[in-house]
Structure 1
């Protein structure tokens, strides 16, 4: 059982981000990541949007670049995994991802997890001259190409959308198999994850919808079900925080991405300490299943 954090500051969605995050500086972000690392959290996250059109500002406009952010945080941590949540496959050639995140994997001594998705913002696709129509099939091909490219210096792949060989990719990932987690809330995303990836990161689904989807797909052994929490308050309302987490465990979570309520970076770290203490017995509970 793994617990990660939905990293504050680097993504600020209206209604979810706390006011202090908009004024936070890099030193505070660094302290938060180092605290999560020290307390034993398993991963931290960073999402991707390149340029949010003004017509879509409701989903938030602050998205730190995941490669730059995770590389910086890698230098200030020692063991916590660095997870994209998510990287939009249609915005990048698979070799570009393999080179950039393979380098990050080497720099971080094998701590990269690639959360990937097909993308949901058509205006951004148009802005970046990326292909919107058929993006699901293109994402499938990209994942196959990534699997063939991430952990080798001489990748070769021949697919419907991506075709390459006779190339050298140095450096490349030190992990033999970088975990690929697929984001999404549809049956198609779950099938994509089960067939081509190592985990599924659904969002915005209730327990019943989640169970219905999981019941329609054969889940591979060792497959990760990565569920996220609403903001938790483990200091002032530990019972409610425990209840929310237990509910996700009962829904089948093998990894939980935690958000916490806080009024400052210092308070955020205090909440993380309380959350680490609260989740210690829950880890054992899940392992005993």
Structure 2
């Protein structure tokens, strides 16, 4: 069973983040990344918000480390684990900006980048950044096609409804022949977008029965990834049976990859939990 981690510290949601994360920094995060890398976990994540309105932050949180800077640092701390943006908001960036920035990260990390991408839902942030909110779905579809054309090319070329480019050099560019693209969302539209334009789907907040029903109604390409997360943090040392049951439920719901949040009292305890989780997963 392949398991990645939803990185602590970098995103701190009210009621979900552990108390120790509030005072943690890059040293604690690097320790966790190195441990996950040594054990053989599949990926770690970093999400994106540029600026969150104060009233919205009470629900969604206000701490969101920049994914490019964070993953760039962690790439130098690790050697195997994949570096996942979960998620990067497509509407905030021109596709060639993403291709250049994360193509450079792919070069620095020797081909370990996976781009988790989303349409976005925070209208105030779109307005702040001068990005179009109402047509964000169609623009995101076009951006996904443009990224597929651009990510691994020195001189990319694309012509679409919202984005067009040719005769521009993008160097460095990604070293992977095809950078994996995952699409986040919880609607049938997001699943169709992922199945037709990307390599994986990262749903959230859906019951297992609903997930199975949506997946059964959608034709998925070979090798397509379904990345699921448990509804609450796992406690593999304190509650190993519950942890094993949670992993099994996600696998039975259709997961090809798991992205786990982990309950911990400190960074050192988090690493102990990673060790226990890895052992548990190997036995399933």
Give TM-score scaled by structure 2 length. 0.98
Question: Could you list the per-position Cα deviations for residues 239-277 of structure 1 after superposition, in whole angstroms to 9, with x for gaps in the alignment?
Answer: 000000000000010000011110111100100010011
* CA distance in structure 2 between the aligned counterparts of 1:51 and 1:23, rounded to whole angstroms: 20
SS in 1 for 2:259: strand
Structure 2 unmatched ranges of 5 or more: none
**Post-superposition offset of 1:54:** 1.3
Q: Give the structure 2 partner of residue 285 of structure 1.
A: none
Verify: 1:265 aligned to 2:267, yes or no. yes
Verify: 1:7 aligned to 2:7, yes or no. yes
Give matches, 1:12-91, under 5 Å: 12-57=12-57, 58-91=59-92
SS in 1 for 2:150: coil
Question: Could you list the per-position Cα deviations for residues 150-208 of structure 1 after superposition, in whole angstroms to 9, with x for gaps in the alignment?
Answer: 00101000000001101111010000000000000001100000000000000000011
Give matches, 1:266-281, under 5 Å: 266-281=268-283
SS in 2 for 1:200: strand
**Post-superposition offset of 1:38:** 0.4
SS in 1 for 2:77: coil
Give matches, 1:191-206, under 5 Å: 191-206=192-207
* CA distance in structure 1 between the aligned counterparts of 2:180 and 2:162, rounded to whole angstroms: 22
Q: Give the structure 1 partner of residue 221 of structure 2.
A: 220
* CA distance in structure 2 between the aligned counterparts of 1:25 and 1:223, rounded to whole angstroms: 34
* CA distance in structure 2 between the aligned counterparts of 1:31 and 1:180, rounded to whole angstroms: 27
SS in 2 for 1:17: coil
* CA distance in structure 2 between the aligned counterparts of 1:122 and 1:128, rounded to whole angstroms: 10
Question: Could you list the per-position Cα deviations for residues 209-262 of structure 1 after superposition, in whole angstroms to 9, with x for gaps in the alignment?
Answer: 111211221011100000012201100110000000000000010000011110
**Post-superposition offset of 1:134:** 1.1
* CA distance in structure 1 between the aligned counterparts of 2:65 and 2:127, rounded to whole angstroms: 20
* CA distance in structure 2 between the aligned counterparts of 1:233 and 1:20, rounded to whole angstroms: 16
**Post-superposition offset of 1:281:** 2.1
**Post-superposition offset of 1:2:** 1.8
Give 4+ residue runs of structure 1 displaced > 3 Å after superposition: none
**Post-superposition offset of 1:26:** 1.4
* CA distance in structure 2 between the aligned counterparts of 1:37 and 1:215, rounded to whole angstroms: 34
Give matches, 1:159-178, under 5 Å: 159-178=160-179
SS in 2 for 1:226: strand
Question: Could you list the per-position Cα deviations for residues 79-100 of structure 1 after superposition, in whole angstroms to 9, with x for gaps in the alignment?
Answer: 0000000000000000000000
* CA distance in structure 1 between the aligned counterparts of 2:256 and 2:218, rounded to whole angstroms: 17
Structure 1 unmatched ranges of 5 or more: 283-289
Give TM-score scaled by structure 1 length. 0.97
**Post-superposition offset of 1:55:** 2.5
